[in-house]
Amino acid sequence: MKHVIEPSLLRRFDIPGPRYTSYPTADRFVEAFGERDYIQALQQRRAGSLALPLSVYVHIPFCASLCYYCACNKIITRHHERATEYLRYLGHELELQTRHLGRGHRVSQLHLGGGTPTFLSDDELADLMGMLQRHFELVPGGEYSIEIDPRTVTQQRLAHLQRLGFNRLSFGVQDFDPTVQKAVHRVQPAEQVFALMAAARELGFESVNVDLIYGLPQQTPESLRRTLEQVQQLRPDRIALYAYAHLPARFKPQRRIVAAELPSAADKLAMLALALDMLSAAGYEYIGMDHFALPNDALAVAKRQGRLHRNFQGYSTQPDCDLIALGVSAIGRVGATYSQNTKTLEEYYDALDQGQLPIIRGIVLSRDDVLRRSVIMAIMCQGLVDFESINLAHLVDFRVYFARELEQLREMAEWGLVRVHDTHLEVTPTGWYVVRAIAMVFDRYLQLDQDRARFSKII
C-alpha cells in the first residue's frame, strides 16, 4: 500500500506541535507546584485501596560521547566515578519517595533511560536493580526495559542485563549510513548492532526495539532506504522512527549540525512515506506516529485490542497507571498531577542533601485537563474517540462540550484526515501522518496560546 499525502497538506502541516506524551504538555508545568503538592499526591495514592501497579522510570544522564542531534538531558563525561555518586543520590530520592508512598508497591513497568543507562558498570546496574527491588515488588510478567547504546555493551553485558531481570531492550541505531553517522557524531558499525541483536535473540529477550531517526543531516530518501533494508534484516520486534527536531536555540549540541545539510520538508515526508511502505511490506504494523511492531509483539496486540497507552517513554502496553520518576530532570505522574525533578545535578544533589524531594515544577490537572487528556490520548493511541465513552466517564455531552473543536475538524475532514460520525470520530490512514495536528485541536492551552515555536515540527 502506497502512502500519499498532497504537497499542499505538507506545507500546511509543516508546523511545530506537541508529541503528547502527556496532557497538559510539560511546557505547561508551573513552579508553583512543588514538593508539598507531590507528597500530597503520593499520600493520596497510598491511602487508595485499589491502586493499580506502578510504572517506574529512572533517568541516567551520563554519556561518554556527544551525539549532535540529541535533545535529552545528559552530561557528557568520561569520568565513570561520577556514576557512583549519582547512584547514592538516587538511593536517597527513592527513600524519600517511599517514605510517603510506602514500600512494596507492585511495579509492572520499569524503564531505564538517559543519557546512556549502560554508562553504568555491571556492578552499578546490579546495585540499582537491587535498590529498586528493596523498595518495590517487580511483578512477574512485567515489562522491564533499558535503552542501549550499542557502542557501550557486549554480548556478555546483555547476558548480565537479562540476569538482572530486564526482558526488553532498545538499541539506539538512528542510521546505518556512515556519512550520516559522521555528520551527527555517532559512528557505530552495522556489524556491531547485528552481533548484539543475534545475542539478544539467543538470550531470549521478549522484545527488542530499534530507534531510528529521519531528517538527519546528509540523509536522503535513498540512504534511508538502505538503512531500512538493513533494519529489515535485523527484524527487531519494534521500531521507533522519530522525526529529527532541529531546535538549536533550545539544544546546544544541535548547533554543531550544519543546517544546510538537513533534508527538505518534502524529502522528510518522502522518508516517512518510504518507511511506512517498506515496513508495512516487511510485516510491521503501524502503531501510530513513530512506532512500528511485528503483529505478535505486545505493542501490536495492545493496539488491536484497544489497550494502547502513551506516556513519557512513548507508546506503552501497560494500563494507564501512575509513574514514579527518579533522577535528574525525570518527569512523573501520580494521580491527577504531573511533576518534574530539577534539571541539573547540582540542584538535584542540593535538594536531597537537605532531605527534600527534588521537585522543580509540575501541575495539578483540572477537570477539563483530565477530560481533554482522555480525548487526546484516544486520538494518539487508537485513532478513534467514542463519544458515549467520554460522556459516561466524564459526565459531559461530547458534541456540546466540544462543539467548537468539532467545527474545526470539518476542514480536516474535507482534507481526508479525519472522519466525524454521529457517535465517534476516527483518524484516516492519511491522517496518521499528522495525528499530532488532529490532537492539537483539542489542546485548550494551544488554542489560547499560538506560540508553538517550543515544539518540534509535525513532519
Find out whether 240 is annotated in a ligand binding site: no
Under the banding of pLDDT at 50, 70 and 90, the label for residue 11 is low
Q: Which distant-in-sequence residues (6+ apart) come within 8 Å of 154 by Cβ? A: none
Same domain for 62 and 14, yes or no, is: no
Q: Which distant-in-sequence residues (6+ apart) come within 8 Å of 50 by Cβ? A: none
Find out whether 348 is annotated in a ligand binding site: no
Alpha-helix residue ranges (DSSP H) falling in 28-154: 35-47, 81-101, 122-135
Same domain for 408 and 312, yes or no, is: no
Under the banding of pLDDT at 50, 70 and 90, the label for residue 146 is very high
Find out whether 147 is annotated in a ligand binding site: yes
% the chain with pLDDT above 70: 95
Match 473543536 to its residue by C-alpha cell. Answer: 405
Domain membership flag for residue 341: no
Cα separation, 358 vs 342, in Å, equals: 6
Find out whether 186 is annotated in a ligand binding site: yes
Q: What pLDDT score does 305 carry? A: 87
- In this structure, what DSSP letter does residue 457 have? B
Domain membership flag for residue 134: yes
Strand order in the sheet with 136-148: 285-288, 291-293, 238-243, 207-214, 168-174, 136-148, 105-114, 54-60, 323-326, 331-334, 337-341, 359-364
For the stretch 280-283, contacts whose Cβ atoms lie closer than 8 Å and that sit 24 or more positions apart, written own/partner, are 280/1, 282/232, 282/235
Residue 207 has pLDDT above 90, yes or no: yes
Same domain for 17 and 35, yes or no, is: no
Burial 137-153 (b: 16+ CB within 10 A, else e): ebeeebbbbbbbbbbbb
Q: Which distant-in-sequence residues (6+ apart) come within 8 Å of 88 by Cβ? A: none
Q: What pLDDT score does 307 carry? A: 85
Domain membership flag for residue 359: no
Q: Check which CATH number belongs to the domain holding 387 and give it.
A: 1.10.10.920
Cα separation, 416 vs 228, in Å, equals: 28
Residue 43 has pLDDT above 70, yes or no: yes
Same domain for 4 and 30, yes or no, is: no
Same domain for 107 and 223, yes or no, is: yes
Which of 448 and 417 is assigned the larger pLDDT? 417
Domain membership flag for residue 352: no
Domain membership flag for residue 336: no
Find out whether 115 is annotated in a ligand binding site: yes
Q: What is the mean pLDDT of residues 167-173?
A: 96
Q: What pLDDT score does 21 carry? A: 87
Q: Kindly report, residue by residue over 218-237, the tens digit of the pLDDT.
A: 999 999 999 999 999 999 99
Same domain for 235 and 296, yes or no, is: yes
- In this structure, what DSSP letter does residue 348 have? H
Question: Which residue range forms the structural domain that includes residue 176?
Answer: 24-324
pLDDT winner (highest mean) among 36-45, 244-253, 311-320, 450-459: 36-45
Q: At what angle do helices 190-203 and 155-164 cross, to 10 degrees?
A: 40
Same domain for 189 and 307, yes or no, is: yes
Cα separation, 287 vs 309, in Å, equals: 11
Q: Which amino acid is at 66?
A: L
% the chain with pLDDT above 90: 75
Find out whether 67 is annotated in a ligand binding site: yes
Q: What pLDDT score does 140 carry? A: 93
Q: Kindly report, residue by residue over 92-135, the tens digit of the pLDDT.
A: 999 999 999 999 999 999 999 999 999 999 999 999 999 999 99
Q: Kindly report, residue by residue over 71-103, the tens digit of the pLDDT.
A: 888 999 989 899 999 999 999 999 999 999 999
Find out whether 331 is annotated in a ligand binding site: yes
Q: Check which CATH number belongs to the domain holding 128 and give it.
A: 3.80.30.20
Domain membership flag for residue 421: yes
Residue 1 has pLDDT above 50, yes or no: no
Q: Which of 324, 354, 382 is the last residue of a domain?
A: 324
Residue 356 has pLDDT above 90, yes or no: yes
Per the structure, how many domains does the chain have? Answer: 2
Q: What pLDDT score does 317 carry? A: 83
Domain membership flag for residue 31: yes
Q: Which of 308, 324, 340 is the last residue of a domain?
A: 324
Cα separation, 125 vs 148, in Å, equals: 13
Same domain for 17 and 28, yes or no, is: no
Spacing of C-alpha 165 from chain mean position = 22
Domain membership flag for residue 422: yes
Find out whether 211 is annotated in a ligand binding site: yes
Q: What pLDDT score does 458 carry? A: 61
Match 485501596 to its residue by C-alpha cell. Answer: 49
Grid coordinates given for 157: 553485558
- The DSSP line for 377-397 is HHHHHTSEEEHHHHHHHHTS-
Find out whether 332 is annotated in a ligand binding site: no
Alpha-helix residue ranges (DSSP H) falling in 188-344: 190-203, 221-234, 265-281, 298-304
Instruction: Identify the CA nearest to 204 among candidates 173, 168, 238.
Output: 168
Instruction: Identify the CA nearest to 292 among candidates 215, 223, 220, 214.
Output: 214
Q: Which of 17-21, 49-53, 60-64, 112-116 has the lowest mean pLDDT?
A: 49-53
Q: Which of 75-89, 139-153, 309-323 has the lowest mean pLDDT?
A: 309-323
Same domain for 285 and 390, yes or no, is: no
Same domain for 4 and 75, yes or no, is: no
Match 538531558 to its residue by C-alpha cell. Answer: 73
**Cβ–Cβ under 8 Å, residues 409 and 441:** yes
Under the banding of pLDDT at 50, 70 and 90, the label for residue 19 is confident
**pTM given for the model:** 0.91
Mean pLDDT over each residue of the chain, to the nearest integer = 91
Q: Which of 298, 324, 350 is the last residue of a domain?
A: 324
Q: Which distant-in-sequence residues (6+ apart) come within 8 Å of 209 by Cβ? A: 145, 168, 169, 170, 171, 236, 237, 238, 239, 240
**Cβ–Cβ under 8 Å, residues 180 and 219:** yes
Find out whether 57 is annotated in a ligand binding site: yes
Grid coordinates given for 389: 465513552
Same domain for 153 and 289, yes or no, is: yes
Same domain for 75 and 124, yes or no, is: yes
Q: Kindly report, residue by residue over 366-419, the tens digit of the pLDDT.
A: 999 999 999 999 999 889 999 999 999 999 999 999 999 999 999 999 999 999
Q: What pLDDT score does 195 carry? A: 96
Q: What pLDDT score does 318 carry? A: 77
Find out whether 355 is annotated in a ligand binding site: no
Q: What is the mean pLDDT of residues 13-22?
A: 82
